[in-house]
């Protein structure tokens, strides 16, 4: 039995009021249901935030607007960031030091950069307040590239030759370690520093014997030189180094972990779509940045396919072994990466 209904005075006239006296057990059940409903309503509001304004963040690309960075425009165009309640201002980055400077100054909250180069900078204690949260390339994409007419087919063929590379780039910084592991005395090679945009022209004109740059540029060098190109990847010897990664401010992980998780879910979705639809991804990039030529972007996206899986994954042992290869100032893996976002447990973005 639910309870007893009694008539009582309401205090505003002679009309009686109905008072429901519930059975004690029934009353407890009603109270429990009311509490559960209140908790459900509160929890749903905190987790889903259907009416919450999107978080606004700035993201710096690895370098300019090229195929390897197209995925971030794709993630925005396809609505993956909108689904994650994030509004992204995409800035064209200009390399590790400028991108790390942007993070330090809070001009960007996320950025792409070459992981090995950033690790070396952290080892020198120049930039330390950052952490990698997702991988873009599972191996370093730095390489030696040369046209077939030079006769260079292996690292030891570089002895006595001139190699051009971007001044201060990770290609230049990593060359001594690569050369030693490949059985080549790095002092026997002349390194010529130059602007990144000048590399293909120098090689095409045979003003140098080889260039050190990202292997994704192979198609562009073939187009410029009108010759077949030989590629000697650094990853043949530096096996534990990642290529580009997504990094964020260490402080942001502590202050707004949910934002970082949402970002590292949305961005790899854009990478997945880009790898599966290179032509469309290149067209999306070109619409946003008309100077990004579609054929070149498609070439880079196609070239990076073998190096992107497993999507987003950062492995703690590989990072530790990579730091040992770099001899990066005694750093530990957790000083350069947070493995709780893309460590191998599948999420909506990382695989």
Question: Are residues 193 and 330 part of one domain?
Answer: no
* pLDDT of 40 strictly over 90: no
Quick check: is 178 in a domain? yes
* Domain count across the chain: 3
351 located within any domain: no
Residue 343 belongs to a domain = no
- How confident is the model over 18-23, as a mean pLDDT? 45
pTM of the model: 0.81
Residue 122 has φ and ψ, to the nearest 5°, of: -65, -40
Same domain, 100 and 157: no
| CA 216 from centroid of its chain's CA atoms | 17
**% of the chain at pLDDT higher than 90:** 75
Of 39-43, 50-54, 71-75, 302-306, the least confident? 39-43
348 in any annotated domain: no
- In contact, 257 and 175? CB cutoff 8 Å: no
| Residue-number span of the structural domain to which 232 is assigned | 142-236
Is 250 found in the same domain as 133? yes
**Does 203 map to a domain?**
yes
**Mean pLDDT, residues 4-13 taken together:** 43
Say if residue 302 is exposed, middle or buried (CB neighbours under 10 Å; 0-12, 13-18, 19+). Answer: middle
Residue 8 above 60 pLDDT?
no
Q: Are residues 106 and 124 in the same domain?
A: yes
DSSP per residue over 238-281, as a string?
A: -TT---EEEEEEHHHHHH-HHHHHHHHHHHHHHHHHHHH-HHHH
Domain co-membership, 18 together with 74 = no
| Selected residue with higher pLDDT from 337 and 24 | 337
34 pLDDT more than 60:
no
Strands, E, within 115-227: which ranges? 130-135, 142-147, 162-166, 190-194, 210-214
Regarding whether 272 and 211 lie in a shared domain, the answer is no
Average of pLDDT values for 77-86? 98
What CATH number did the domain enclosing 194 receive?
A: 3.40.190.10
């Amino acid at each position: 039995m639910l309870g007893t209904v009694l008539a009582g005075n309401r205090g505003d006239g002679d009309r009686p009021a109905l008072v429901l006296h519930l059975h004690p057990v029934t009353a407890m059940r009603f109270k429990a249901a009311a509490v559960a409903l209140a908790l459900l309503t509160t929890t749903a509001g905190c987790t889903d935030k259907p009416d919450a304004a999107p978080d606004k963040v700035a993201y710096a690309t690895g370098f300019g607007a090229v195929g390897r960075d197209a995925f971030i425009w794709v993630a925005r165009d396809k609505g993956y960031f909108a689904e994650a309640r994030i509004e992204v201002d995409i800035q064209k980055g200009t390399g590790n030091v400028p991108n790390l400077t942007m993070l330090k100054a809070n001009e960007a909250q996320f950025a792409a950069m070459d992981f090995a180069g950033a690790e070396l900078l952290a080892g020198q204690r120049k930039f330390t307040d950052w952490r990698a949260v997702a991988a873009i390339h599972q191996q370093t994409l730095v390489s030696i590239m040369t046209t077939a007419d030079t006769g260079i087919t292996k690292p030891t063929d570089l002895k006595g030759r001139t190699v051009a590379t971007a001044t201060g780039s990770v290609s230049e910084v990593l060359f001594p370690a690569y050369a030693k592991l490949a059985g080549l005395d790095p002092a026997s090679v002349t390194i010529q520093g130059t602007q990144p945009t000048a590399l293909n022209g120098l090689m095409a004109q045979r003003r140098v014997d080889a260039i050190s740059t990202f292997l994704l540029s192979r198609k562009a060098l073939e187009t410029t030189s009108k010759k077949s190109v030989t590629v000697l990847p650094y990853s043949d010897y530096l096996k534990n180094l990642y290529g580009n990664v997504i990094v964020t401010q260490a402080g942001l992980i502590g202050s707004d972990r949910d934002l970082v998780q949402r970002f590292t879910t949305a961005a790899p979705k854009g990478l997945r779509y880009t790898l599966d639809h290179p032509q469309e991804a290149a067209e999306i990039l070109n619409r946003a940045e008309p100077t990004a030529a579609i054929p070149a972007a498609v070439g880079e996206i196609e070239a990076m396919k073998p190096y992107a899986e497993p999507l987003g994954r950062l492995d703690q042992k590989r990072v530790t072994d990579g730091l040992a290869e770099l001899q990066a100032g005694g750093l530990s893996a957790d000083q350069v990466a947070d493995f709780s976002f893309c460590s191998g447990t599948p999420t909506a973005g990382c695989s």
